[in-house]
Amino acid sequence: MSRIGQKAIAVPKGVTVEVKGDIVSAKGKVGVMTMKLVPEVAAKADGGTIAVTAKDESDRARAMWGMTRTLINNMVHGVDTGFSTDLEIVGVGFRAALDGKNLKLQLGFSHDVLYPIPEGIKITVGKPTEIKVFGADRQKVGQVAADIRAFRPPEPYKGKGIKYSDEYILRKEGKKK
């Protein structure tokens, strides 16, 4: 039995959740999200909670039960308050700026890197070395942050590059004479 799958999902005020067949949709102040359920699980909304159940006792049904409950919980939390990831840019002359619907990055290359901001994602640049990625879809926020980080990942000698704000860079010792 799934310990996570057994827990009911509490729906906060201001969020409406509908379950029609195998489609779960949530609407809140941050946005609207929908999700198609896998055939092995079922969801039922009553009042202010959502219950997810496995249709049978197969291994796949039990595996999908907890995962589906977590995905629906992330969807409800995302449309209510949203998810965010903070990135930091370390390096002399490395900076970021918003250029219309693009994120313009100067990362020590001979050219500026333009990253088009996907639909449903909001990027803010407080300081030229701090980037905040915000959105309702947790997976999309993490993927956008990983894509931005991949342009110049932090290197182990000086720590230059783009890193998550809570990431610790293992530093290596340089050359010895």
**61 & 113 share domain:** no
d(CA 69, CA 136): 17
CATH number, domain of 17, equals 3.90.930.12
Give the residue from 46, 80, 114 where a domain finishes: 80
**75 & 89 share domain:** no
**Overall domain count for the chain:** 2
pLDDT given at position 3: 81
The residues near 89 (Cβ < 8 Å, ≥ 6 apart) are: 95, 96, 105, 107, 128, 129, 130, 131, 161, 162
Does 103 score more than 80 pLDDT?
yes
Give the residue from 44, 62, 80 where a domain finishes: 80
**102 & 149 share domain:** yes
**88 & 158 share domain:** yes
**124 & 98 share domain:** yes
**66 & 89 share domain:** no
Q: What residues make up the domain containing 99?
A: 83-164
Annotate 86-133 with DSSP letters as a single string: EEEEESTT-EEEEETTEEEEE-SSSSPEEEEPPTTEEEEESSTTEEEE
Buried b / exposed e over 106-133, threshold 16 CB at 10 Å, is bbeeeeeeebebeeebebebeeeeebeb
Contact 8, 51 (CB under 8 A): yes
Give all strands of the β-sheet with 32-36 in edge-to-edge order.
Answer: 16-20, 23-27, 32-36
Does 48 score more than 90 pLDDT?
no
Name the pTM for this structure: 0.87
Does 151 score more than 90 pLDDT?
yes
Strand partners, 46: 49
Does 129 score more than 70 pLDDT?
yes
Give the residue from 80, 106, 130 where a domain finishes: 80
